[in-house]
Structure 1
């Protein structure tokens, strides 16, 4: 097969993927609209039942609450899916990785304190700039930090460390939480794979797509009962020589 034939096959597969992604996004939108109407009317029905207080209505309210919870879960799945499906090329500008990490850690400081989790920072003050998109990168980091906090049910420590390697600018996020087994590590970046009750299974796949859209990569190491380490690596701008 010639290189032109190979290129044609790749272009065809990309076009098919983009068409499927667009179709899936449209389907999610079509589901989202009637689901919002159902959710709104469930809230109105709940208000009506509260006004007419009786033992029968209390039982009905319990059933209404179940329907509402499932509506909210489906809305969350659709919201996460649309965020995942819409992620395409993003405009990157020069920025400091430390600033992005600090912004996310500050956002979760209150939750960390409530969970009795110590947040430790080892951020390289001489870190070179990277090409980044602040909103999407912070969204990816928030997902990772949130997962880390939720993995430490009885307190613990979250360590954030930035540093340079020969070929990259890196970030480690290390928690002392429950950890996961090797099977979970193998599948955790697959869409819709989740070990959390009520989870959409799209948080980590979306985070990986964001990191890859930055030209970077994400890897994970974990041990049950000891914790998890995520490593994000971003390319060094060509004008900067590290080492």
Structure 2
């Protein structure tokens, strides 16, 4: 398994070295195969004469020695740019000599020329590939013509069919051995002389084989170079796309991690190295460090491997310096053409700075809210305190019992007013200890309705519900949502002092859960509608002005919003929009 950073790709020199080493390994295989064939052909099957054994063995040794020399060149990085051409040329020369000692153009292994043309098409440029074709054709033609005109002797390969003729020598001069018969095992110095008829000594056959060899070599080079040109173009496009993707990922600062079915990392990019770089010193530490991050069998990657769902979670870790880091991790499956999951990919984004900014913004918002609350408290509490102070001053000057009774009653009302304000403020500022859970909105609405039915404001009102039975869930703090729904329900009931109908509906619309509270009350005036969510604003005699302010705060904290539609004299519709919980990692809930 190759774990590497895509930004740390091999340089061109390393790629050339790898190709040369691959070619050298291939030549070692060729040495072994050639040795086996020579021993099998001469010593076991006796298809060649013994006289060819040592020349062939010497050529195999020459191939091995050249391979050692090329290996030394690679290690010392000498002649690297031309080493492939040197290997191909030396191979063609050695191949031609080996063919000469093993049947010449009659040897069926002469097709190995094609193998070198294919190799040159893969390893070399197009022009150099056709230069190899020219060299191979020249060597093949030289071998064929020198044997045809008996410049060099022809060695019979018995696997190729030969005809035997008997030749009677009438004169001693005519019995001089020919190069063919000199190496012919059937040659006898006396009597009738059997003689092989060799195809390599017939001009028609030789010329046909030369033309066929040229045609095959050229056609092979044409096809292989065109195929390789297309492959190189595709490789270049793939490289450009990969670089583009790397630049995009680098610009976003995102880390990319690919895991196999055993949750082993098989590929990751530079940000992963940066985040875990202080801990990645060897392969074992890579596995252990990343596997701790991945989460073993209970992590999101393992869950995605099992069910194929895309998940997005937040994870945190402590770096080697003891600093806490926050990450947004999105895990998606990689699916093969058969529809099976074979890998998962993790897109990891460092959101530590975002978390810090969010905390600062929350703190700033709290400071602003605190300022608003402080101003409201000073105003709302200051008024009854001023009224009580004035009344107490008057009580010290008047001894009228009726005036004293009225003053005590007024002071009691003002104290109750201050109590309501303080209660609302403590309810708003109380820190929530509940964890976010999976909330079933219909169940919360049903519990809300049961509480509203027994409220004194509901005595003359009817409450109806229209709930979607297939309503999806949302994530939130259950008690806070219930508190918001109760406040909206009470507001609707209090808006119908002479009786009416409250309708509560639920449904899913445009990716959100919508909950409507519809009353048939007096409606809200336009100038009042603009202020209903402001703290301490109320039109009720005993109201604190914090009810709808707290409701709006709760819904916004859950990622939702509240819309209000009203017609004075006809009624009001409050619509709460909450986000639908998607198929992601769900916290453990006790709710069924």
Q: Sort the TM-score into its range (normalised by shorter chain).
A: 0.7 to 0.9
Cα distance, 1:21 vs structure 2: 5.0
User: Which residues of 2 match residues 39-118 of structure 1 at below 5 A?
Assistant: 57=401, 59-86=403-430, 91-111=435-455, 115-118=459-462
Range with greater deviation from structure 2 (169-178 or 60-69): 60-69
CA gap 1:215/1:89 in 2 versus in 1, 3 angstroms = farther
Cα distance in 1 for residues equivalent to 2:461 and 2:531: 27
Task: Determine helix, strand or coil for the equivalent of 1:102.
Answer: helix
Could you say which residue in structure 1 is the equivalent of 2:189? none
Question: Which residue of 18, 25, 28 maps to 2:366?
Answer: 18
Per-residue CA deviations over 1:188-238 (Å, capped at 9, x if unaligned) read: 111222222232211101101101111111111111000000001110112
1:114-133, aligned counterparts within 5 Å?
A: 115-133=459-477
Give secondary structure in 1 for the equivalent of 2:492.
Answer: helix
Structure 1: state its 5+ residue gaps: 1-6, 36-54
Task: Quote the offset at 1:129 in angstroms.
Answer: 1.6
Pick from 553, 564, 567 the counterpart of residue 220 of structure 1. 564
1:181 is aligned to 525
The change in CA–CA distance for 1:12 and 1:107 in structure 2 (over 3 A counts) is closer
Higher relative contact order (CA 8 A, sep 6+): 1
Instruction: Call closer, same or farther: CA 1:87–1:200 in 2, change over 3 Å.
Output: farther
Question: The residue matched to 1:225 in structure 2 has which SS?
Answer: coil
The question of whether the paired residues in 2 share the 8 Å contact of 1:87 and 1:210 is answered with: no
CA distance in 1, matches of 2:424, 2:487: 12
Q: What pairs up with 1:136-151 in 2 under 5 angstroms?
A: 136-151=480-495
Closer, same or farther: CA 116–21 of 1 in aligned 2, 3 Å? closer
- Asked whether 1:231 is paired with 2:575, we answer yes
Moved more, 65-74 or 76-85: 76-85
Deviation of 1:140 (Å)? 1.0
- Are the aligned partners of 1:191 and 1:202 in contact in 2 as well (CA < 8 Å)? yes
Using a 3 Å threshold, how does the CA distance of structure 1 residues 88 and 184 change in structure 2: closer, same or farther?
Answer: farther
Q: Which residue of 2 is the match for residue 38 of structure 1? A: none
Shift of residue 83, structure 1, vs aligned partner: 2.2
C-alpha deviation, 1:9, in angstroms: 9.1
Q: 1:68 offset after TM fit, Å? A: 1.0
Work out the CA distance in 2 between the residues paired with 1:180 and 1:21: 26
Counterpart position of 1:205: 549
Aligned length: 212
With over 3 angstroms needed to count, the CA separation of the structure-2 counterparts of 1:165 and 1:104, relative to structure 1, is same
Is residue 152 of structure 1 aligned with residue 496 of structure 2? Answer: yes
TM-fit CA distance, 1:166: 2.5
Query: Are the aligned partners of 1:185 and 1:221 in contact in 2 as well (CA < 8 Å)?
Result: no
Aligned equivalents of 1:223 and 1:186: distance in 2?
A: 14
Displacement after TM superposition at 1:146 (Å): 0.8
- In the alignment, which residue of structure 2 is the partner of 1:45? none
CA distance in 2, matches of 1:210, 1:16: 18
Question: Contact 1:88/1:213 (CA < 8 Å) preserved in 2?
Answer: no
CA contact (8 A) 2:522 2:569 kept: yes
Q: Is the 8 A contact 1:148 1:158 kept in 2?
A: yes
Which one has the largest radius of gyration? 2
Higher mean alpha-carbon deviation, 211-220 vs 193-202, is at: 193-202
State the Cα distance separating 1:137 from its structure 2 match: 1.2
If the length of structure 1 is used for normalisation, what is the TM-score? 0.75
Counterparts of 1:122 and 1:231 in 2: how far apart (Å)? 14
Q: State whether residues 123 and 162 of structure 1, in contact with CA within 8 Å, keep that contact through their aligned partners in structure 2.
A: yes
Match of 2:276 in 1: none
Is the contact between residue 457 and residue 494 of structure 2 (CA under 8 Å) also seen in structure 1? no
Alignment check: 8 A CA contact 1:112 1:149 kept: no
